[in-house]
């Protein structure tokens, strides 16, 4: 029975992602939910006020984009950091010098986004001392898996003259044993400890600023890939920043928060509860509502491919820096400890998101999920492997058999692709960031960016999932390309599925949340090379127009 909706959208090219009705031209919204989908507006709504009708004049409407793996807090903070996405060390040093000129003596200069495969080498402490005398300098690699600091920071840490051992990380040194400023993986925590915790008000602003950018790009949902601690944590109370932003009306997109395994501790629950470790009050996956919800436990098993720290079963393809031909990367902790962490979280009712890049780390994650399911059977635990970057064919089949979702990043092809191809060598190119074989194995494919590791704009991610080219123009394991239709489905329904939220979002169906993205053209109807150039012209969240470039 039609009734007056809050919003009626007409003359739209609706790509619903609902196999039962793939296309429609009108959508009615009431109370933040989709009230009806069809082709005859008069059938969907009657008595709707003229100001509540949006005529899209043929523009394309899809379910709101959902980034299944992003770092919203880091991205928000990065908007105030020095942008180091440059092609030479000279340019990098010039940018640091420029910031130093406007920064008070002794204050921190924080930059992010450099890639040594583009600049030719990592920055060096001595050069940083020269361009930013009297400042503390902290430059983060684009992968977030390493950073470079200057001498003042090394002195604060007491490793000015010689390195210190760090479990799951490394303080790099030159041939004479003197630290170069490069800090890998968990060694970054030493630096983070000097500046953290970041105040809650700063984090709340970061959530708000990031959200504003997301709306302009058509994002209506994001999964935050780790709050609450570890080497990527800004503060142990990061969840409170999201709550505060929401109270202030500044949480602009729906957020699912993964909780870093480092935040887990003994809860002293009853033995029969099966909760060996968790977070306070027994909060776990699923707690929250459609705006803000706790997602999986996030556990890092290894590092990055470009940085050659990810755990591979066979050595990297040479090592331009050190000439080391035996480097297979490393796990971020003892293998038995990592597996036990995954199994305990599964047992306690958490979904688990295991960061695993190299095939040796992927083996570890799959073994742990397999063991967990065998020991503590659970219906549809919906575990995930973040990145699944260098996966052997047998690992795709095994993920499918276990119901584990690989969460890849389309944009990595362009921004990190050349470095990844060099790291693994030609014999393993076909392992990289599989999509086609994942879909063909019957596994749901989500869409994600890992922002701020690379540019997070969903249309860029979709473009790269379809085109698979590196920055230098080389094909990036092109056999794993998917169609525009499949990529769009990944960034909407696939990501909702990876959040176990496909019953409330991810498609334009009556009863689901009224979250939509409106595009200037239909990505499935333009040539693949043009997808990145399409525009987001409106973003609707919870039935409300939150961003609009509509004429």
| Alpha carbon distances (Å) from 146 to 82, 392, 439 | 16, 26, 32
Q: Is 224 in the site for Zn ion (CB under 5 A)?
A: no
Q: Which is nearer to Zn ion, 4 or 333 (CB)?
A: 333
Residues between 183 and 212 that touch Zn ion (CB under 5 A): none
Residue 299 CB partners (closer than 8 Å, separation 6+): 260, 261, 338, 341, 342, 345, 352, 353, 354, 355
Residue 21 CB, nearest distance to Zn ion (Å)? 35
Residue 481 CB, nearest distance to Zn ion (Å)? 23
Residue 99 CB, nearest distance to Zn ion (Å)? 25
**Part of the chain binding Zn ion (CB under 5 A), chosen from 145-153, 196-204, 315-323, 449-457:** 449-457
Residue 143 CB, nearest distance to Zn ion (Å)? 9
**Part of the chain binding Zn ion (CB under 5 A), chosen from 129-137, 145-153, 217-225, 249-257:** 217-225
Q: Is 502 in the site for Zn ion (CB under 5 A)?
A: no
Residue 148 CB, nearest distance to Zn ion (Å)? 20
**Part of the chain binding Zn ion (CB under 5 A), chosen from 1-9, 298-306, 388-396, 443-451:** 443-451
Q: Which is nearer to Zn ion, 179 or 410 (CB)?
A: 410
**Part of the chain binding Zn ion (CB under 5 A), chosen from 104-112, 133-141, 225-233, 397-405:** 225-233
Distance of CA 201 to the CA centre of its chain: 23
Q: Which is nearer to Zn ion, 96 or 225 (CB)?
A: 225
**Part of the chain binding Zn ion (CB under 5 A), chosen from 113-121, 219-227, 278-286, 356-364:** 219-227
Residue 71 CB, nearest distance to Zn ion (Å)? 6
Residue 491 CB, nearest distance to Zn ion (Å)? 17
According to CB under 5 A, which one of 12, 89, 225, 402 is a site residue for Zn ion?
225
Q: Which is nearer to Zn ion, 225 or 339 (CB)?
A: 225
Q: Which is nearer to Zn ion, 450 or 464 (CB)?
A: 450
| Alpha carbon distances (Å) from 10 to 18, 46, 87 | 18, 13, 47
Closest-CA residue to 171 (of 197, 191, 142): 191
Residue 185 CB, nearest distance to Zn ion (Å)? 13
3-class DSSP assignment, residue 242: helix
**Part of the chain binding Zn ion (CB under 5 A), chosen from 26-34, 295-303, 446-454, 485-493:** 446-454
Q: Which is nearer to Zn ion, 180 or 449 (CB)?
A: 449
Using only the alpha carbons of the chain, give its radius of gyration. Answer: 23
Q: Is 450 in the site for Zn ion (CB under 5 A)?
A: yes
Residue 56 CB partners (closer than 8 Å, separation 6+): 9, 10, 11, 12, 13, 518, 550
Closest-CA residue to 307 (of 75, 113, 141): 141
Q: Which is nearer to Zn ion, 262 or 450 (CB)?
A: 450
Residues 207-226, buried b or exposed e (16+ Cβ, 10 A)?
bbbbbebbbebbbbbbbbbb
Q: For residues 215 and 439, what is the distance between their CA atoms, to the nearest angstrom?
A: 29
Identify the H or E element spanning 9. Answer: strand 7-10
Q: Which is nearer to Zn ion, 225 or 432 (CB)?
A: 225
Residues between 274 and 313 that touch Zn ion (CB under 5 A): none
Q: Specify burial of residue 504 (Cβ count, 10 A radius: 0-12, 13-18, 19+).
A: middle
Residue 446 CB, nearest distance to Zn ion (Å)? 13
Q: How is residue 462 written in tokens?
A: 């979709």
Beta strands across the sheet bearing 254-260:
65-70, 219-227, 254-260, 292-300, 352-356, 384-387, 405-407
Residues between 113 and 132 that touch Zn ion (CB under 5 A): none
**Part of the chain binding Zn ion (CB under 5 A), chosen from 11-19, 123-131, 189-197, 218-226:** 218-226
| Region at 477 (left for phi over 0; alpha for psi -120 to 50; beta for the rest) | left
Q: What is the DSSP letter of 492?
A: I
Contact 349, 500 (CB under 8 A): no
Residue 192 CB, nearest distance to Zn ion (Å)? 16
List the Cα angle 314/320/323 in 5-degree steps.
70
Residues between 71 and 100 that touch Zn ion (CB under 5 A): none
Closest-CA residue to 290 (of 491, 547, 513, 517): 513
Residue 257 CB, nearest distance to Zn ion (Å)? 13
**Part of the chain binding Zn ion (CB under 5 A), chosen from 18-26, 286-294, 444-452, 481-489:** 444-452
**Part of the chain binding Zn ion (CB under 5 A), chosen from 37-45, 367-375, 448-456, 462-470:** 448-456
Q: Which is nearer to Zn ion, 18 or 450 (CB)?
A: 450
Q: Which is nearer to Zn ion, 116 or 223 (CB)?
A: 223
Q: Which is nearer to Zn ion, 412 or 516 (CB)?
A: 412
Q: For residues 261 and 228, what is the distance between their CA atoms, to the nearest angstrom?
A: 9
Q: Which is nearer to Zn ion, 359 or 450 (CB)?
A: 450
The CA-based dihedral angle spanning residues 188, 191, 196, 198, taken in that order and rounded to the nearest 10 degrees: -80
Q: Which is nearer to Zn ion, 81 or 450 (CB)?
A: 450
Contact 546, 539 (CB under 8 A): yes
Closest-CA residue to 262 (of 294, 286, 236): 236
Count of residues touching Zn ion (by CB under 5 A): 2
x/- mask, Zn ion, residues 255-274, rule CB under 5 A, reads: --------------------
The CA-based dihedral angle spanning residues 132, 136, 138, 139, taken in that order and rounded to the nearest 10 degrees: 0
Residue 426 CB, nearest distance to Zn ion (Å)? 27
Q: Which is nearer to Zn ion, 30 or 225 (CB)?
A: 225
The footprint of Zn ion (CB under 5 A) covers 225, 450
């Amino acid at each position: 029975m039609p009734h007056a909706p809050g919003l009626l959208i007409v003359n739209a090219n609706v790509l619903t992602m609902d196999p039962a009705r793939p296309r429609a031209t009108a959508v009615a919204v009431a109370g933040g939910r989709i009230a009806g989908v069809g082709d005859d507006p008069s059938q969907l709504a009657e008595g709707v006020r003229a100001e509540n009708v949006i005529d899209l004049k043929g523009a394309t409407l899809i379910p709101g984009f959902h980034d299944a793996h992003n770092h919203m807090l880091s991205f928000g903070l990065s908007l105030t950091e020095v942008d180091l996405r440059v092609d030479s060390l000279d340019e990098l040093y010039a940018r640091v010098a420029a910031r130093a000129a406007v920064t008070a003596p002794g204050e921190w200069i924080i930059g992010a986004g450099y890639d040594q495969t583009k600049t030719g080498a990592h920055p060096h402490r001595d050069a940083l001392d020269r361009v930013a005398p009297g400042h503390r300098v902290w430059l983060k690699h684009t992968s977030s898996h390493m950073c470079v600091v200057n001498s003042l920071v090394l002195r604060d840490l007491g490793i000015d003259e010689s390195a210190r051992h760090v479990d799951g990380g490394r303080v790099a040194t030159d041939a004479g044993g003197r630290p170069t400023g490069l800090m890998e993986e968990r060694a970054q925590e030493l630096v983070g400890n000097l500046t953290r915790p970041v105040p809650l008000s700063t984090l709340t602003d970061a959530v708000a600023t990031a959200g504003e950018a997301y709306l302009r790009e058509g994002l209506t949902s994001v999964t935050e890939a780790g709050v609450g601690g570890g080497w990527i944590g800004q503060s142990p109370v990061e969840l409170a920043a999201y709550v505060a932003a929401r109270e202030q009306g500044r949480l602009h997109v729906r957020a699912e928060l993964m909780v870093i395994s480092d935040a887990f501790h003994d809860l002293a629950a009853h033995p029969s509860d099966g909760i060996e470790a968790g977070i306070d009050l027994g909060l776990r996956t699923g707690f929250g509502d459609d705006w803000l919800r706790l997602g999986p436990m996030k556990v890092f098993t290894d590092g990055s491919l470009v940085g050659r720290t990810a755990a591979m079963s066979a050595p990297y393809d040479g090592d331009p820096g050190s000439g080391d031909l035996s480097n297979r990367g490393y796990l971020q902790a003892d293998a038995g400890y990592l597996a036990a962490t995954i199994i305990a979280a599964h047992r306690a009712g958490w979904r688990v998101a295991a960061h695993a890049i190299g095939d040796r780390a992927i083996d570890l994650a799959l073994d742990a999920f397999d063991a967990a399911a065998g020991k503590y059977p659970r219906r549809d635990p919906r575990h995930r492997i973040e990145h699944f970057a260098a996966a052997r064919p047998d690992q795709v089949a095994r993920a499918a058999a276990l119901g584990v979702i690989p969460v890849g990043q389309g944009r990595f092809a362009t921004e990190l692709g050349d470095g990844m191809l060099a790291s693994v060598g030609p014999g393993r190119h076909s392992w990289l960031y599989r999509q086609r074989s994942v879909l063909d194995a019957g596994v749901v494919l989500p869409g994600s960016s890992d922002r701020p590791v690379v540019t997070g704009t969903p249309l860029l991610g979709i473009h790269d999932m379809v085109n698979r080219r590196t920055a230098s123009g080389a094909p990036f394991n092109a056999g794993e390309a998917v169609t525009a239709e499949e990529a769009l489905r990944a960034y909407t329904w696939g990501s909702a599925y990876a959040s176990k939220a496909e019953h409330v979002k991810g498609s334009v169906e009556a009863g689901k949340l009224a979250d939509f993205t409106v595009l200037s053209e239909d990505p499935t109807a333009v040539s693949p090379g043009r997808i990145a150039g399409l525009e987001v012209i409106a973003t609707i969240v919870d039935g409300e127009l939150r961003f609009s470039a509509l004429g």
